[in-house]
Structure 1
Amino acid sequence: MGPRSRGSQLYLLHLLAVLAGLVLVAVGSWRIGVIVIGAAFVVGALGRLVVPIDHTGMLRVRGKAFDVFWMSTLGVALVVLAAVIPGQPG
Structure 2
Amino acid sequence: MTDASATAQSDRPLGFLRNQLPMLLVAVVLLVAVVFLVQDRWRRGAFVIGGAPLLASALRLVLPEVRVGLLAVRGRPFDVVAYAVLGGTIIALAATISSLGVG
TM-score bracket, shorter-length normalisation: 0.7 to 0.9
Structure 1: stretches of 5+ with no match in the other structure: none
4+ residue runs over 2 A deviation: 85-90
Structure 2: stretches of 5+ with no match in the other structure: 1-12
Question: Counterpart of 2:32?
Answer: 20
* 8 A Cα contact 2:43 2:99, kept in partner: no
Structure 1 Cα separation of the partners of residues 101 and 34 of structure 2: 22
Structure 2 Cα separation of the partners of residues 43 and 10 of structure 1: 9
Structure 2 Cα separation of the partners of residues 87 and 57 of structure 1: 37
Q: What amino acid sits opposite 1:53 in the alignment?
A: E
Displacement after TM superposition at 1:19 (Å): 1.5
Question: Counterpart of 1:75?
Answer: 87
Structure 2 Cα separation of the partners of residues 89 and 15 of structure 1: 28
What is the percent sequence identity of the aligned residues? 34
* 8 A Cα contact 2:50 2:89, kept in partner: yes
Question: Counterpart of 1:38?
Answer: 50
Displacement after TM superposition at 1:20 (Å): 1.2
Q: What amino acid sits opposite 1:39 in the alignment?
A: G
Structure 1 Cα separation of the partners of residues 101 and 68 of structure 2: 44
Q: What amino acid sits opposite 1:4 in the alignment?
A: R
Aligned residue for 1:86, secondary structure, equals coil
Note closer, same or farther for the CA distance 1:37–1:89 as it changes in structure 2 (3 Å cut). Answer: closer
Number of equivalent positions: 88
Deviation readout 1:7-46 (Å, 9 max, x if unpaired): x211101011111102211220010001011112101101
